[in-house]
Amino acid sequence: MRAFTCPDCLHLVLFESLECLNSNTVLGFDWNRREIVALPDGLACANREEIGCNGVASAPNGLCFSCALTRTRPSDADDGPVRFAKAEAAKRRLLFELLELGLPVESYLQRKGGLAFDMLNSERTDVITGHDDGLITLDLAEADDVHRERVRTVMGEPYRTLLGHMRHEIAHYYEPILCPQGSAARDRYRELFGDERADYQAAMDRHYAQGAPDGWPNEFVSAYATMHPWEDWAETFAHYLHIRDSLQTAITYGVTVAGPTLFSKDEAPLSSFPAAAADGIRGLMDAWLPLTYALNAMNRSMGADDIYPFVLPPPVIGKLGFIDELVSAQASTAPRR
């Protein structure tokens, strides 16, 4: 995430800021410019008061670009706006990164199979978080910290967040866009992730009955990624988004790692200078991995779990590199929103 300043006094403000605490300027996020602006009169997103959306309205219904992508929202009688607000805040961060990377974001109102979100509450109806032809469904129970941590523990997952869910599901949306059937990219996809034409239901039944195969950490970013090529792609793509967003933040705030102050025989880099990283997956990894070593060490000093509880073996780095190539190629041809 980039940093932002108040357009009036140039004091630092947040991506989510509604008002500058220094100058009291009323703020909005202009999705066309992807910048914080002084909110134009009469152009507050219709969700501003209810869920704290700071977007500048652009849709005919008075919603901002992000909120207009929500096809279905919970009723006010469901559980109030709190969980919905958390989910929409995560969605705004997701969309910002996608646009920064130059990936296409087309609404379901623009074309069949375009992007849409259903925000539903499993306490009221049956809900399965997932993706179907551009439609991302999110169970708002995932916005409850206690529920989400309980599920994470039961599933044995090292990481579970609202933003992580959205990054995983958006990966399914981009798979046919970046790897069209019959293309060289699809052939390479099958070499790396496997043949996605394999029976998904059978793969899911097998996964939940038997679990991940022995030795899975040597080839996959997560246990869930072992279930089916679709899920391997989605888990790896989501991880790519984690990395790119975190490195953008590091560059924005000038975060670098000079390495431990001791002699080491490690061949891998122990210093990280994200702003100077070379293009391509090698440059990303050279910036990313030393940064995670330092962040994990800091967390452990506070008695907390690792902030980055993952290990990236060479096959996973190869998959990440393939995704980086596809995203970079897409960005080179995409018009700036």
| Element housing 251 (H / E) | helix 229-252
Question: Which pLDDT does position 337 carry in this prediction?
Answer: 55
**DSSP three-state, residue 312:** coil
8-state DSSP, 227: S
Q: Which two tokens stand for residue 191?
A: 């070499």
Q: Which one, of 321, 315, 235, 330, lies nearest residue 286 by Cα?
A: 321
In the numeric block, the tokens 């509880």 are attached to 309
Ranges 51-60, 78-87, 90-99, 270-279: which has the least confidence: 78-87
Give Cβ neighbours of residue 65 (< 8 Å, ≥ 6 apart): 31, 32, 55, 58, 59, 95
Q: Looking at the predicted structure, is the pLDDT value of residue 125 above 90? A: no
Report, as an integer, the average pLDDT of 288-296: 96
**DSSP three-state, residue 35:** strand
| The model's pTM | 0.94
Report, as an integer, the average pLDDT of 179-188: 97
- Residue 272's φ and ψ, nearest 5 degrees, are -135, 125
What share of the chain in percent tops pLDDT 70? Answer: 97
d(CA 43, CA 39): 7
Question: Which pLDDT does position 48 carry in this prediction?
Answer: 97
pLDDT digits over 139-177, tens only? Answer: 998 998 898 889 888 888 888 899 999 999 999 999 999
